[in-house]
């Protein structure tokens, strides 16, 4: 892949945040390496400087000829049609490197599976794979744009695209376990992908910057054959440099800071308004409760008044009955007194009558008849 060929200067800290420098670190020293997509040999040259023996494969014969002096063997082959196993013996390599190659293949899974067959028992595969979920692509898509470029994430020769989950699936499908996962990192507004940041809200840019893998420009993996019990999950990602080191402090970040401050002020104002509203609602609820209780009390008073009126009416009726009874009682008492008086008078007259001579003569004359009645 000559279009990605670059000098690998391991002494320059600025080069460390690059896929080729990271590939050199992951390969190590003194090992047998197959450089798939060797291009003009910049990676092979750096690995030779570390005591490695390097074999190369590329389909661009003109570019690859420049790599030949740094290689044990150069194979010109199109991996989409020519299996790696046709050119190298099984178990020949300690490390096989795919530096920004797999995304250019029609069937990267097949090619990677073939590479595993070429590994020594404890061999490793080192891959550099662009991250299609980088923040620059997300922002470009938000603007409705997908524009291919000469190189980079949207390279016009890319046939496959990978995010973190795609990287994991690719390795698992060929029986590899990833022991180390690194990320070359770039700010979403610092890549070749076209993004009109002025057309986006600063909060959107800030949100995208805050998402997982939004700063990860390329994934780098070091993987080995999976053993029984190995997890297929990827290890925690190690950024080559801290995200904050590449994060741009631009007008969009500053604008977002102003938006956050304004939002905080608005939030405080909303909180005050909501507090006051809640207080008013509380007062209204208290007033409504008081009105309800007042109406209930008024109903109770009216009920009591009606009961009092009924009791007063009943009392009046009872008083009238009592008065009538008293009047009748007085009448009866007068009549009883007159009867007693009449009885006393009659008793007197009866006594006088019994004391008279006429009574005695009459008693004497009627005594035989009384005796006769008693005898019967």
Domain boundary assignment for the chain: 2-248, 262-357
pLDDT at 128: 97
**Which pLDDT score is estimated for 302?**
85
> What's the confidence (pLDDT) of residue 10?
64
pLDDT < 70: residue spans in the chain: 1-7, 9-11, 13-14, 252-267, 269, 272-273, 280, 376
Measured between alpha carbons, how far is 172 from 23 in angstroms, rounded to an integer?
20
Structure confidence at residue 3 (pLDDT)? 52
**How many angstroms separate the CA atoms of 326 and 323, rounded?**
5
Torsion sign (Cα): 360, 361, 364, 370? negative
Q: Quote the tokens at residue 97.
A: 């490197």
Residue 318 has a pLDDT of 83
CA pair distance 100, 123, nearest whole angstrom? 20
Distance, CA of 85 to CA of 90 (rounded, Å)? 7
Token code pair at residue 96: 């096989």
- What class, spelled out in words, does domain 2-248 have in CATH? alpha beta
Confirm if 116 and 146 have CB atoms less than 8 A apart. no
pLDDT value for 257: 57
Q: What is the sign, positive or negative, of the torsion defined by CA atoms of 342, 344, 350, 353? A: negative
Q: Which pLDDT score, from 0 to 100, does residue 214 have?
A: 98
Strand partners, 155: 149
The DSSP code for 110 is H
**Model pTM?**
0.68
Question: Would you state the pLDDT for residue 23?
Answer: 96
pLDDT at 186: 96
The whole-number pLDDT of residue 349 equals 78
pLDDT number for residue 58: 97
């Amino acid at each position: 892949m000559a279009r990605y060929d670059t000098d690998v200067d391991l002494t320059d800290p600025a080069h460390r945040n690059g896929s080729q420098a990271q590939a050199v670190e992951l390969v190590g020293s003194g090992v047998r390496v197959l450089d798939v997509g060797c291009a003009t040999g910049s990676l092979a040259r750096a690995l030779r400087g570390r005591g490695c023996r390097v074999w190369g494969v590329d389909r661009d014969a003109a570019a690859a000829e420049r790599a030949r002096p740094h290689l044990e063997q150069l194979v010109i082959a199109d991996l989409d049609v020519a299996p790696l196993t046709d050119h190298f013996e099984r178990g020949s390599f300690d490390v096989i490197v795919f530096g920004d190659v797999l995304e250019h293949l029609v069937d990267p899974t097949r090619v990677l599976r073939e590479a595993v067959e070429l590994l020594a028992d404890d061999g490793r595969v080192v891959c550099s794979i662009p991250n299609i979920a980088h923040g620059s692509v997300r922002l470009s898509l938000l603007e409705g744009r997908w524009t291919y470029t000469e190189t980079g994430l949207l390279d016009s020769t890319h046939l496959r695209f990978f995010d973190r989950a795609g990287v994991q699936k690719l390795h698992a499908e060929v029986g590899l376990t990833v022991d180390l996962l690194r990320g070359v990192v770039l700010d979403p507004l610092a890549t070749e992908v076209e993004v009109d940041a002025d057309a986006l809200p600063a909060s959107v840019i800030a949100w995208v910057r805050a998402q997982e893998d939004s700063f990860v420009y390329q994934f780098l993996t070091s993987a080995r054959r999976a053993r029984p019990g190995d997890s297929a999950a990827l290890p925690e990602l190690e950024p080559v440099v801290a995200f904050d080191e590449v994060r741009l402090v631009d007008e969009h970040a500053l604008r977002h800071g102003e938006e956050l401050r304004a939002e905080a002020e608005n939030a405080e104002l909303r909180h005050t308004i909501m507090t006051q509203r809640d207080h008013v609602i509380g007062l209204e609820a208290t007033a409504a409760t008081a009105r309800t209780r007042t109406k209930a009390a008024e109903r109770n008073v009216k009920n009591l008044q009606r009961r009092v009126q009924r009791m007063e009416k009943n009392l009046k009726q009872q008083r009238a009955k009592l008065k009538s009874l008293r009047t009748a009682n007085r009448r009866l008492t007068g009549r009883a007194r007159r009867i007693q008086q009449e009885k006393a008078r009659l008793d007197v007259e009866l006594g006088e009558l019994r004391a008279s001579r006429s009574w005695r003569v009459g008693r004497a004359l009627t005594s035989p008849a009384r005796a006769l009645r008693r005898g019967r």
